Amino acid sequence: MSTLSVNIFETPDAVVIQLSGQAGFTAVDGLQVPFQRVVVARPQLVVLDLAGLDFAASLFLGMLVNLRRGIVMQGGQVQMAGVRPNVREILQVSKLDSLFEFIDAAPQPPAPAG
């Protein structure tokens, strides 16, 4: 069974979606609602932090495309950060690498107040 951890937070410039673990077929079911919430919030920039992602199934790739479509239709942009070579290869083979801007590292969560 694949496990996927999702952490979503806001920075002054972006909404960051941190994904870690394996985005296998059973794990991606839990992404539909969080991704939809991000799209509904209409951010100008979404950064997918994939530094901790070990594996990406085809169903997950479809979800990324749908997330991007929802954000771009509202005038926003989606970037991918910290993509590991094996996940980058999956994106290249599926020709999805041209849809996303790649950056080295995602913004970090804001420091706790106090």
What is the CATH number for 56? 3.30.750.24
| pLDDT score, position 2 | 54
For residues 98 and 107, what is the distance between their CA atoms, to the nearest angstrom?
Answer: 22
**Residue pLDDT, tens place only, 8-34:** 999 999 999 999 999 988 888 889 999
In a domain, 29, yes or no: yes
The string of pLDDT tens digits covering residues 47-97 is 999 999 999 988 999 999 999 999 999 999 999 999 999 999 999 999 999
d(CA 74, CA 40): 10
Q: How many domains does the chain have?
A: 1
Torsion of CA 108, 83, 39, 59, to 10 degrees: -140
Amino acid letter, 80: M
For residue 29, what are its two tokens? 């079911």
Give the domain range for residue 88. 4-103
CB 67 within 8 A of CB 35: yes
Does residue 61 lie in a domain region? yes
Which band of pLDDT confidence, cut at 50, 70 and 90, is reported for residue 1? very low
Q: Which two tokens stand for residue 7?
A: 């952490």
111 within domain boundaries: no
Asked if the structure places residue 20 within a domain, the reply is yes
Instruction: Flag whether 114 is in a domain.
Output: no
